[in-house]
Amino acid sequence: MDLIENKQYLFKSILNSILILIFFSINLQSQEKNIEIKSAGSFDRNESLFPDGNILGESQTKKVHLRHDEMDIFSKKSIFFQKRNSFIATGKVHVKQGDSINLFCDSLNYDGTSRKFSSYGSVRFINDEMELNSTVLFFDRNINEIFFNEKGRIIDSLSTIESKKGKYLIDQKKYEFEDNVVINNPNYKIRSDMMDYYLDTELAYFFKQSTIKTENYDIFCNKGFYDTKNKIGIFKNEANITNEERIIYGDSIYFDDNLEYASASKNIRIIDKKENLIIRGDYAEIFEKLDSALITKNPVAINITKSDSLFIKADTLFSIGKDNNRKVIGYDNVKFIKGSMSGKSDKIEIDKSLGLTILKRKKLTKRQIQILTENQINKLNPIIWDGNSQISGDEIILKENLDKNVIDSLKISNNSFIVEIDTISSGNNYNQMKGIKLYGKIIDNKLERIKIDKNAEIIYYMYDENQQLIGIDKAIASSILISFKEQGIDDIIFYNQPEGVLYPEDELEENQKTLNGFIDRFKERITNRENFK
């Protein structure tokens, strides 16, 4: 009994499945719309050439008119395959569907079942906003998309767009272009290997190598977005923006032409073409109206000169001004290196018009002035090293020869202190000089001579011709002139009533071998420009 019931149940299930399949098959057939012949001037058949095909031709008063699902097709001649629900139209073909489709071509193949057609010859697709021209154009009515693979051209009210491959999404008013894309507009020219473009908003999205050229700037990227109407964009992957004065590189660049503003992040480089200035870092803001740039992440500035270039590193860097009036300002943890010379400070200012590089210390508070020792202040002061020399002061000014574009002098207006390593001795001995003001001469990026003015003091290790230590000279004078050679101090001249005593080394305690305010900062000096990369 159970076996019979199971067989009956199985039979009913199979029967229900068959009925469902039959129902859906009939339903699909009823949903599929057939192509209609609305008019024709002549009817003919040629089974050898067109099996199951009706040959429809025009007359003097009638064009061939076919219709399918609210789409009208006019032509001189059509081969209509009723069983296949398809046709081939030739001769001045015109396809019309409301306001969405208005197409002209030489020939057209249409499949009513798939609702797709391909058009050939001189193909023109026209709507209220643009005209699309190609030699081969495909259209999928199911998703309302047109595409071409044999080069196409789109013309709207302002622009002409060309590409080898393209797609037009009618409902979205969106183009998808690939391979040799070119947009010509009175205000710009865009080239791209792959991009999307929205007709109504004039937004362009780039997915491969792309360039934008305008009267004032050029843009390059491998990925990005550009609002062609409002001139705003984001550009990524080896992006750069070039104008008459500078080039901006970055992994990502935001650009607003109306505000004349750009911001760049990661692996940035700003190249000043006229001033031979390069600024690197990981975040920058550029203000074209102010001719300024702000770099706040790992900034490095490189001033390229005929001899040794100047490398500057700081927590924050500014570049301000045009051409010869350019200023570069660095704040906090400033370091620089130029040839054999290097230095550190809280702030650096480079004025290209005056040829000045100024190293500054943060302004001391009243309390700091009261409680800090001279040694502690000297540890905070700007400092430069050149070979075996260490020079510090409240403010250090390096002067450039503008004709030769090289640093040729330095100046300290207060609290000057020089430390020179005694290279002859085997111990840690230092020649020291201090005073109020300092003037120095630099030749070939090397310290040639220094003059210390006002309250000058000196401690100097003196040797005989056999480089045997004679003693330690401790002296004071109104001014001291010091000349340097390759290995250190070469000559010392005292001015205006000098007083000094030559002491045997063993007669002086260790604390008597240093001037008040002495501090050894040679371990801080920068010896490798690789640290600036």
Mean pLDDT for the chain overall? 87
pLDDT at 397 over 90: yes
Mean pLDDT of 139-165: 92
What are 39-55's pLDDT values in tens digits?
998 999 888 788 888 89
Question: Residue 3 — pLDDT band, cuts 50, 70, 90?
Answer: very low
Beta bridge mates, 170: none
Mean pLDDT of 156-178: 91
Cα 236 from Cα 213, distance rounded (Å): 17
Question: Residue 13 — pLDDT band, cuts 50, 70, 90?
Answer: low
Secondary structure of residue 426 in the 3-state scheme? coil
Give pTM, 2 decimals: 0.79
Query: Where is 4: in which H helix or E strand?
Result: helix 2-31
User: Is the Cβ–Cβ distance between 94 and 75 less than 8 Å?
Assistant: yes
Instruction: Kindly state the greatest CA–CA separation across the chain.
Output: 137
Which residue, among 139, 86, 140, has the nearest Cα to 113 in the 3D structure? 86
Mean pLDDT of 208-227: 95
Contacts of 471 by beta carbon, 8 Å cutoff, 6+ apart: 462, 502, 503, 504, 505
pLDDT at 20 over 50: no
Mean pLDDT of 320-330: 82
pLDDT at 436 over 50: yes
What are 449-461's pLDDT values in tens digits?
899 998 899 999 9
pLDDT for 209: 96
What are 462-480's pLDDT values in tens digits?
888 888 889 999 999 889 9
Mean pLDDT of 190-214: 94
Domains (range + CATH), the chain: 33-127 (2.60.450.10)
- Decide which of 218 and 533 is more confident: 218
Beta bridge mates, 93: 105
Rg (alpha carbons) of the chain, rounded to whole number: 42
Which residue, among 369, 372, 332, has the nearest Cα to 348 in the 3D structure? 332
Which residue is listed with tokens 């004032």? 216
Rounded to 5 degrees, φ, ψ at 82 are -65, -40
Question: Residue 19 — pLDDT band, cuts 50, 70, 90?
Answer: very low
Rounded to 5 degrees, φ, ψ at 296 are -120, -10
Give me the amino acid identity at 80. Answer: F
- Decide which of 294 and 11 is more confident: 294
Give me the amino acid identity at 368. Answer: Q
Question: Residue 160 — pLDDT band, cuts 50, 70, 90?
Answer: very high
Question: Residue 531 — pLDDT band, cuts 50, 70, 90?
Answer: low
- Exposure string of 270-309, with b = 16+ CB inside 10 Å and e = fewer, is bbbeebebbbbbbbbebebeebbbbbbeebbbbbebeebb
What are 406-419's pLDDT values in tens digits?
788 999 999 999 99
pLDDT for 18: 43
- Decide which of 418 and 402 is more confident: 418
